[in-house]
Amino acid sequence: MMETPAQLDIEAVRRDFPILSRQVHGRPLSYLDNGATAFVPEAVLAAVGEQYRAYQANVHRGVHYLSEQSTARVERVRQQVADFLNAEAPEEIIFTSGATESINLVARAFADGILKPRDRLLVTEMEHHSNLVPWQEACRRAGAALDVVPVTDAGELDIEELLRLLDAGPRLLAVTWVSNVLGTVNPLPQIVRMAHAVGCPVLIDAAQAMRHGPVDVRSLDCDFLCFSGHKMMAPTGVGVLYGKRRRLERLPPAAFGGGMIDEVDTQRATWAEPPFKFEAGTPNITGIVGLGAALEYLQSLGLPAVYAREAELIAYAEAQLQERGDLDILGAPARRAGAVSFNLRGLSPYDVAKLLDQLGVAVRSGHHCAQPLLARFGLTGAVRVTPAFYNTREEIDALMDGLDRIAALSQRSL
């Protein structure tokens, strides 16, 4: 029998995030935009400050004490991330500025070293632009074709169509784990098996998935996986690309300069082994240290408790929205995590978000960098709610009260 995860002490957790106590427009802040950027706890702020105060030096170059200490701290986080993802070795972990750069790195490498004219790549209709536009550009540069897996009315991938498109022999499938708009949790273990059965490697955009359940790259058997630190309580400007060692060895580097070379003369250069082959220039050292502190913080809370809390809050938000008769929720996936989007009938999502902001409720509005997905539902925008484990039901209730006030205001103006 599965053990029920321990519950978080929410009041204690909230004290770890001082920004939660501030007011906006004279009202208590209800921050429900964590799918864009999550808040940073004191433990991470302390680690970042310590790096600047005590260890500020470049990495992998100097033999002096501070450089060696800074290098050790970065490489410690590389091992930490490898352990968190259950990667086989730290050499499979590449530090980037975020999921966007991680995906672009692979896309540029495919365009330069793997794709040939008339090859095919495969993406889905629910991708964030960061996991769509780089592949469009890779296909344009290589003369390849881009196929797109459609989304059903329920907001799930059409698995039968995915099978058909895989039969065309794409060189890679790039797919999100959790939709940043619908919250759809895609059946990645099944999808990876289907792709590998026809020899197609898989890149997973896990940016929206990392706080909602365990991520085990060996169990998934994915070829690449990307995520951003700023959705994981880390500073902005740091992210991760995981790649199987044999895949990374085949890829050409996508950026060039110091730190990624083996030997250089005036006419040619050879590359270092992964991961350094893909880490040209000075990395975001302090951001990497902050990422390590964020992972430690989440693990200190108990990851099963974090996952359970996130699931509870999104279920509560969805249930409250479903009770209303004045809005339309996007999609009805069998599994939803992290995000639920809707439109209040007769009002633009931008106006709804601006009015909610005046009431201290922070949500996201617009196309959420997923214009093809919104177009699939005949929309140009929506309001998105993305709670995090430190949020409360009362903050979601504040959202509902705000919607009541907006609806009443709208009726009076008619």
For 161-227, give the secondary structure using H, E and C.
HHHHHHCCCCCCEEEECECCCCCEECCHHHHHHHHHHCCCCEEEECCCCCCCCCCCHHHHCCCEEEE
Give the other-Cβ count within 10 Å of 8's Cβ.
17
Residue 109 burial class via C-beta count within 10 angstroms: exposed 0-12, middle 13-18, buried 19 and up: buried
Catalytic member of 139, 200, 226, 369: 369
Give the other-Cβ count within 10 Å of 154's Cβ.
11
Q: How far apart are CA 252 and CA 250, in angstroms?
A: 7
Residue 324 DSSP class = -
Backbone φ/ψ region at 220: left (φ over 0), alpha (ψ -120 to 50), beta: alpha
Q: Which pair of tokens denotes residue 319?
A: 């249930």
Q: How far apart are CA 133 and CA 260, in angstroms?
A: 26
Taking a C-beta distance cutoff of 8 angstroms, is the pair 301, 8 a contact? yes
Taking a C-beta distance cutoff of 8 angstroms, is the pair 183, 339 a contact? yes
Catalytic residue flag (residue 369): yes
Fill in the amino acid letter for 312.
E
Q: How far apart are CA 83 and CA 97, in angstroms?
A: 20
Q: How far apart are CA 117 and CA 166, in angstroms?
A: 18
Helix (H/G/I), strand (E/B), else coil: 145 = strand
Question: For residue 341, what are the β-bridge partners?
Answer: 384
Taking a C-beta distance cutoff of 8 angstroms, is the pair 227, 35 a contact? no
Q: How far apart are CA 32 and CA 181, in angstroms?
A: 14
Give the other-Cβ count within 10 Å of 100's Cβ.
21
Q: Which pair of tokens denotes residue 25?
A: 């427009």
Q: Active-site positions?
A: 369
